[in-house]
Amino acid sequence: MKIVAFGTAPVGIVAIGVNATGVIAIGPVATGVIAVGQLARGVIALGQLAVGIVVVGQLAVGVVWACGQLVIGATAGPNQFAVGLFGRLYMSRLFDPYGGQILRNSGIKPWRAAVGTLGVAGLLVLWWYAVGLQLSDALGPN
């Protein structure tokens, strides 16, 4: 595996190109631990369509946290339309002592906790098959 890779299908620690795969991947279709692109898939993903553990995008599917226009995740940030299975998590309030509640969930009822847990498990399975397998194959030992 190269340290820095460029091209149409680069694979490397830092990959920049059309179908980039790497620890840090930048390109229109980016798959990596940190992925930035129009279609970003990874652990931390930023893009128009983003799938990952922590994501920011116009259409975002995040296992732990998602922020953007139309998102779903275990927790969601300040968005236009968000489905936070366990409520909304405001990262900007994390370091502000006067910012208010960090997690706004208005009390989780038992049925919502069960549905949220199943939803997060489903998101994790979706992430593993959409991103995790390809990422572990590309970055794993050959």
Q: Tens digits of per-residue pLDDT, 29-39?
A: 999 999 999 99
Tokens 């794993």 identify what position?
A: 140
Q: Which of 1-15, 21-35, 80-94 shows the lowest per-residue confidence on average (mean pLDDT)?
A: 80-94
Half-sphere exposure of 37 (CA within 13 A, CB side): 26
SS3 of residue 111 by DSSP: helix
Which pLDDT band holds residue 108 (cuts at 50, 70, 90)?
confident
DSSP of 38-67:
SEEEEEEEEEEEEEEEEEEEEEEEEEEEEE
Percent of the chain scoring above 70 in pLDDT: 94
